[in-house]
Amino acid sequence: MASLNRIYAMLLRHIYLLRGSWPRILELAYWPIMQMILWGFITQFFTGHSEWVAQAAGLLLAAVLLWDVLFRAQLGVTLPFYEELYSRNLGHLFVSPLRPWELIVSLLGISTLRTLIGVVPAALLAIPLYHYSIFTMGLPLIVFFVQLLVTGWALGLMVSGLVLRFGLGAQSLAWVAIFALAPISGIYYPIDVLPGWLQPVALALPSAHVFEGMRAVLLGEGFHIGHFLAALALNALYLVLGAALFMRVFALARQRGLLLHSGE
Amino acid sequence: MAIEVAGLTKKFGSATAVDAVNFSIPGGSATALLGPNGAGKTTTLAMLLGLMTPTSGSIRVLGTDMLRHRYAVLQRMNYASPYIDLPQRLTVRENLTVYGRLYGVRQLARRIDRLAGELELGILIDRPYRELSAGQRTRVALAKALINEPELLLLDEPTASLDPDTGDRIRGWLEAYRARTGATLLLASHNMPEVERLCDRVLMMRAGRIVDDGTPGGLATRYGRRNLEEVFLDVARHV
């Protein structure tokens, strides 16, 4: 119960931050909406020029919206963590009874909230703008959303751990790391487009299995249980690795006194 | 004893920041860690708080082994320092609410109102922390440090960079808090009049070691000096 109260306190800290700044909330939704508008026009063009896209008009729009789930989930962990560093608040937090794992859980919670604020308006706007509703995907959409959310969390924890270790000079990792995954996640194209040697690397990512699974659903091939299980197992592995890295760096930060001197 | 430290050592590579320090601090007392920059005061405080792990040695705080069970005791202590800060964009009330919840404070709204009254934060309570002056921020940091009514309060340079009026008020609030609750106070400071006013004992540190221990008046007598500031200069300059 005490743990829940502390996790709630940390969620509240970030909800206060969002509530106090409308530009922050608008910015969360702005980029996914712009991406959706851009890819909506590209979809309209390709629907008349590509047989593959014509099979399922929502292929690219669903891809861009789900990619944003992964991207926003990762940023949703790292940016709130950066906020603690910017405000030199880690010292205060960790002389309180807050456990590192409670901080992690709260970061995952705020990541979920930020992702929903970012992606849901774009998904809803796609309905009147392009007559495409991602929600028609049904139950698989929830599975894909959760899987990509977890992948984003895992990556966000790894990036946060590295920034705690190396300082805010490494903060651009939040954008660098996720875009390194984009080409091999098969967001807009099947994995078999990649060179043979790169395909096993891609299939070691949960995101590649999610986007393959998404295409299977949209092209009428049904829900692919193999991709689902692979993504589930890989997500479990990477989330454990991300949390373990963060906890290890936290212990190292206590050894080196970094919690007292973290900041800009 | 509120604090019992034995053989406490902290090394950073080949540099020794704190070197086999031993001391005990009785409950209800007010003690100062004094010493020049780099003497190891802040590192000692950080280890007492669990923010930093010692290389060797033992720490008992309020009867609890801090190296094994620090979460059992962190709820009963608190800390303020100019080297760490609070979330800038949150209001004073929001900051105190977050920290009150982290410390599991009951009847939190009433506690915040009381602190706001005692520390004269009333008109600041709904203003963002980033808009406050240095003196106002120090009062908020003190409110955060008192939010859980700690039995042990650790302060690192509590009045650094404050004007004399604000510094005097902070010292007055600390005296009143201690008188009301019987809390133990441990502070690191470079302000000798502050130490003479607030503390009944001084631990002098130099190069990571405790080189002397006594009352402010006792130390002045022992060194043949008029006040603690002159004793400090002797210790810092190895006289």
**For residue range B176-214, what is the model confidence (pLDDT) as tens digits?**
999 999 999 999 988 888 899 999 999 999 999 999 999
Domain segments of chain A: what residues? 2-261
How is residue A118 written in tokens? 């970012």
How is residue A58 written in tokens? 């929502």
Asked whether residue A172 carries a pLDDT value surpassing 60, the answer given is yes
Identify from B49, B92, B102 which residue to disrupt to test chain A contact, counting A C-beta atoms within 10 A and taking the largest count: B102
Tell me if chain A has a CB within 8 Å of the CB of B109: no
Q: Are B58 and B94 in contact (CB under 8 A)?
A: no
Q: Three-state secondary structure along B64-89? A: EEHHHHHHHCHHHEEEECCCCCCCCC
Query: What CATH code is assigned to B3-236?
Result: 3.40.50.300
Asked whether residue B136 carries a pLDDT value surpassing 80, the answer given is yes
Cβ contact, residue pair B71, A95, below 8 Å:
no
Provide mean pLDDT across the span B138-160: 93
Greater pLDDT, A50 or B7: B7
Cβ contact, residue pair A12, B91, below 8 Å:
no
Q: What is the pLDDT of residue B239?
A: 54
Cα of first residue to Cα of last residue in chain B, in angstroms, is: 33
Contact pairs from chain A to chain B, CB under 8 Å: 105
Token pair 């921020």: residue = B137
Q: Which regions of chain A does DSSP assign to beta strands (E)?
A: none
Report the percentage of chain B scoring pLDDT > 70: 100
Asked whether residue B92 carries a pLDDT value surpassing 80, the answer given is yes
Asked whether residue A264 carries a pLDDT value surpassing 70, the answer given is no
Asked whether residue A263 carries a pLDDT value surpassing 60, the answer given is no
Provide mean pLDDT across the span B9-36: 95
Least confident of A50-59, A126-135, B184-193: A50-59
Provide mean pLDDT across the span B52-67: 96
Band (B55; pLDDT cuts 50, 70, 90): very high
B26-40 pLDDT, tens per residue?
Answer: 999 999 999 988 899
Q: What is the pLDDT of residue A257?
A: 87
- Report chain A residues whose CB lies below 8 A from the CB of B128: 20
Tell me if chain A has a CB within 8 Å of the CB of B57: no
How is residue A107 written in tokens? 């970061």
Asked whether residue A262 carries a pLDDT value surpassing 70, the answer given is no
Nearest to A7 by CA among B187, B142, B101: B101
Band (B82; pLDDT cuts 50, 70, 90): confident
Cβ contact, residue pair A12, B98, below 8 Å:
yes
- Report chain B residues whose CB lies below 8 A from the CB of A255: 52-53
Q: What is the pLDDT of residue B125?
A: 96
Identify from A14, A260, A261, A262 which residue to disrupt to test chain B contact, counting B C-beta atoms within 10 A and taking the largest count: A260
Nearest to B48 by CA among B143, B148, B141, B187: B187
Please give, rounded to a whole number of angstroms, the shortest distance from the CA of A96 to a CA of chain B.
6
Report the percentage of chain B scoring pLDDT > 90: 76
Provide mean pLDDT across the span A179-206: 94
Greater pLDDT, B33 or A57: B33
